[in-house]
Amino acid sequence: MTVLEVEDVHTYYGESHILEGVSLEVDDGEVVALMGRNGVGKTTTIRTILQLTPPLNGAVRFRGTDIVDEETHEVARRGIGWIPEDRRVFAQLTVEENLRVAVPNQDEIAAGLELAYDAFPILEERREQRAETLSGGQQQMLALARGLVGENELLLVDEPSEGLAPQIVATVAESLADAATQTSMLLVEQNLPLALDLADRFYVLDNGSVVDDGETDDVSADSDRLRRYLSA
Amino acid sequence: MINTLLAVAPELVPLALVDSFIEFLHPSELSRVLIDGLSKAAIYAMIAGGLTLIFGLMGVLNFAHGSLTMVGAYLGGAVMVLMVSSTTGPLARVAFFFVAVAVVFGALSAVGGALEVTLIRRLYDRPPIAQILLTFGLTLIIDELMRIILEFYDIQPRADWIAAWGTKPWFLSQRLSVGPISVRGIALFEIVMGVLTVAGIWAFLTRTRYGLFIRAGSEDSEMASALGIDVRRVFTVVFALGTGVAGIAGALLMWDTHWGASVPLGAETLLPAFVVVIIGGLGTFRGTVAAALLVGLVDAIMSWWFVNEIKFSGLPQLTIFLILVFVLIVRPQGLFGVEEVGGH
């Protein structure tokens, strides 16, 4: 069954036409990679799905319901989680408060915290620390954990490996693979081997349009088919 | 004394300064100044606390905040005048005061919420000058409406409302003495009210789920929305809460001889509140409380020193602004401020 359906979406920033008729789908239990060079509209696609930057035309359906014109918090409450590109943890809040904010129901906080700390034990050690005092890798873990405790049916994950040391990338990849067993995922990732390893299918964006899509099993990170659109 | 010495024997000024410092350290003087400073800090914290909550979450500098404090003073006064008669005992007056505080908080919160929903909300995506013009315009409207209402009831709008002041229980008008220490009753009452209010807000922000939403939304309202928080509703609640607390401060000021319920009270409270918010760091409640303590104590110490030694009462206010300038030069984001706050 289709969880997310983006159909012929056109999104603008002021006068700039960023998404020029993007269409894509994510099915139940599926990880879909959204790839492309910098500035082609990957993050805008995620912002459009969340209605942070609503589209001017087109439809965004979640479980068959058009969510265009809904408020972002309503979209989130439907079960769409966001792990943003620059982590965006709440710097002045403690680790635990960052997680508490993300749990939708107060009576499920204990279970949510347990889930997060099982996935990232280092966060439990630092539960009372302000998020601003964490390293970049730990902040990324916190951002991922926040997505996990939100009981989401779909996670929108934007550049999770960006700026991280290789050993931290491995931890993050492992966590994403674990998360993918419980939820569908739309993954924006420039690290091709990581994206292809995690995803079942892929879309390639170029100049605000989908220019290629397919099964990840049919391509490799160094294939001409992908390098044509992804190399700098 | 020091200004006289400056004219006739400037070489004796250092001795006079030492003398005045020793005089200041006398328990009776020291306790009086400290209590006065803490009472000012309590008032500043209550008024500036609401202002900083609103700015921290919404990025709105509410110029109408002082006028809403003034409305709180008159509304609280009206409730007290209606309930208190000449035979009402002092404890009953205190009890009625808390009824007045509840009425003021409820009414001003409702007004604040309504203002946010009907007017402020329309301006979030506009440049800050639009918010400043709107809230400044609201100040003019509120002040003028209050003046019209007061003149209708034959109350002098520019002078303190004596009838409201007269509802104060007698022991708050007295100086309370323990040994060499003698303090104004109303100052102690203001400190207690300030501590209760600040503690209440602090507990709300740090111990409740809604408070957590407010703190998260203050840092990054877009991310908070993406986590399912209805940030617009949080905006309304914070504007209502901030306005309600300003109203409580106003109700308290109707009994204070230094302030009193009058239409100019709005402008008189707004300026120090802004100074406190800026020194503490725009949008940080912790910083606002610390800055209120700093400004209140410095104000009281300088008031004592200038009035008793220099005999020039206009200068204490200047020291507050000197602190402001110093903080802006040394730490532009304020004592506890972060570099960027607010947003929608």
Using DSSP's 3-state secondary structure scheme, residue A88 falls into: coil
Nearest CA in chain B to A48: B226
> Which of these, B44, B233, B82, lies nearest to B167 by C-alpha position?
B82
Nearest CA in chain A to B217: A90
Q: A131 at the B interface (CB within 8 A)?
A: no
Nearest CA in chain A to B228: A73
pLDDT in tens, B171-183: 888 888 888 788 8
* Helix axes of B209-219 and B27-58: crossing angle, nearest 10 degrees: 70
A 29-88: CB under 8 A from B: 50, 52, 71-73, 76-77, 82, 84, 88
Q: Do B226 and A76 touch (CB under 8 A)?
A: yes
Q: A104 at the B interface (CB within 8 A)?
A: yes
- Chain A residues in contact with B229 by the CB 8 A cut-off are 73, 101
Q: Do B227 and A100 touch (CB under 8 A)?
A: no
**pLDDT value of residue B341:** 47
Q: Do B227 and A97 touch (CB under 8 A)?
A: no
- Find the mean pLDDT for residues B205-218: 93
Q: Say whether pTM exceeds 0.90.
A: no
User: Distance from B330 to chain A by nearest Cα, in Å?
Assistant: 22
User: Distance from B229 to chain A by nearest Cα, in Å?
Assistant: 6
Q: Do A50 and B224 touch (CB under 8 A)?
A: no
Cα separation, A104 vs A79, whole angstroms:
10
- Find the mean pLDDT for residues B62-89: 94
pLDDT above 60: residue B340: no
Structure confidence at residue B31 as a pLDDT band (50, 70, 90):
confident
Q: With a cut of 50, which residues of chain A have pLDDT below it? A: none
Q: A211 at the B interface (CB within 8 A)?
A: no
Work out the mean pLDDT of chain A and round it to a whole number.
Answer: 92
- Chain B residues in contact with A76 by the CB 8 A cut-off are 225-228
Q: A103 at the B interface (CB within 8 A)?
A: no
Structure confidence at residue B30 as a pLDDT band (50, 70, 90):
confident
> Which of these, B219, B242, B241, lies nearest to B231 by C-alpha position?
B219
CATH number of A1-79+184-232, picked from 3.30.413.10, 2.70.210.12, 3.40.50.2300, 3.40.50.300: 3.40.50.300
**pLDDT value of residue B178:** 81
CB environment A176-193: b (16+ within 10 A), e (fewer): beebbeebbbbbbbebbe
Question: What percent of chain B shows pLDDT beyond 70?
Answer: 92
- A–B CB contacts, 8 A cutoff, strictly below: 60
Cα separation, B47 vs B49, whole angstroms:
6
Q: Do A93 and B225 touch (CB under 8 A)?
A: no
As for the ipTM of the complex, it is 0.93
Structure confidence at residue B160 as a pLDDT band (50, 70, 90):
confident
8 Å CB contact between B214 and A90: no
Work out the mean pLDDT of chain B and round it to a whole number.
Answer: 88
Structural domain spans, chain A: 1-79+184-232
Find the CB nearest A73 among B209, B219, B230: B230
- Find the mean pLDDT for residues B196-221: 93
Q: What is the identity of the amino acid at A63?
A: R
User: Distance from B228 to chain A by nearest Cα, in Å?
Assistant: 4
pLDDT in tens, B268-321: 999 999 999 999 988 888 999 999 999 999 988 888 877 776 666 666 678 888
Q: A12 at the B interface (CB within 8 A)?
A: no
**pLDDT value of residue B20:** 72
> Which of these, B118, B146, B140, B105, lies nearest to B235 by C-alpha position?
B118
**pLDDT value of residue B305:** 78
Using DSSP's 3-state secondary structure scheme, residue B239 falls into: helix
- Chain A residues in contact with B344 by the CB 8 A cut-off are none
Fold category of B2-330 in CATH: ABC transporter involved in vitamin B12 uptake, BtuC (1.10.3470)
User: Distance from B206 to chain A by nearest Cα, in Å?
Assistant: 10
**pLDDT value of residue A112:** 92
Distances from the Cα of B100 to the Cα of A172, B72, B75, B77, B214, angstroms: 56, 10, 8, 8, 27
Cα separation, B143 vs B149, whole angstroms:
10
**pLDDT value of residue A206:** 92
**pLDDT value of residue A128:** 96
- Chain B residues in contact with A84 by the CB 8 A cut-off are 223, 226
Q: Do B227 and A93 touch (CB under 8 A)?
A: no
- Find the mean pLDDT for residues B94-103: 95
Nearest CA in chain B to A109: B209
